[in-house]
Amino acid sequence: MKCPYCAYEESKVVDSRSTEDDMAIRRRRECLNCGKRYTTYEKIEDIPILVVKKDLTREYFDKSKIINGVMKACQKRPVSRKEIEGVATDIEKTLSNQMLTEVKSDYIGELIMERLKNLDEVSYVRFASVYRQFKDINTFMEEIKNLMSNKE
């Protein structure tokens, strides 16, 4: 690690602590040559996950897409932004922990529905209606019946 002031390669760590999200370690360093202090961040290298869409095209996993989709489903519902971000973070961690390099969008949709079912049933039905592309009222009612039978 080169000092940003004098480019000297030796430094000592003065302080280490986790970041707020526990995804990185913040280190205060002191250059052994000029004595100036600077901050570095150490984090685990992410393996990019590719999402295989229904038309078989691939794109990089984007947590913000999950947040946006769940926010639409939770519109005018008593679900906080923090809970929505928690769903997205949980799904991101689940995918990362499985060490997958590619994942089908269907699988991500099922993970979202699983979380929404426990978070808010109305939001779950809203998301399911778009995700499963309900063609008519019968498929919609069938999903609600499944939700009710699982609740008992």
Q: What is the pLDDT of residues 37-93, one digit of tens each?
A: 999 999 877 778 999 999 999 999 999 999 999 999 999 999 999 999 999 999 999
**Whether 30 and 56 share a structural domain:** no
**Whether 28 and 58 share a structural domain:** no
Residue numbers of the domain that contains 21: 11-43
Percentage of the residues of the chain whose pLDDT score is greater than 90: 62
4 in a structural domain: no
Residue 97 has pLDDT above 80, yes or no: yes
Distance CA 127, CA 117 (A): 10
**Whether 96 and 124 share a structural domain:** yes
Reported confidence tier of residue 144, pLDDT bands at 50, 70, 90: confident
pTM for this predicted structure: 0.63
Q: In 88-128, where do the E strands start and end?
A: 102-104
- Residues 123 and 73 sit within 8 Å (Cβ to Cβ): yes
pLDDT, average across residues 80-109: 92
Reported confidence tier of residue 143, pLDDT bands at 50, 70, 90: confident
Number of domains composing the chain: 2
**Whether 69 and 135 share a structural domain:** yes
**Whether 71 and 107 share a structural domain:** yes
The residue behind tokens 């973070």 is 89
**Whether 95 and 147 share a structural domain:** yes
Crossing angle (nearest 10°) for helices 121-131 and 63-73: 120
Reported confidence tier of residue 35, pLDDT bands at 50, 70, 90: very high
**Whether 76 and 105 share a structural domain:** yes
pLDDT, average across residues 86-114: 92
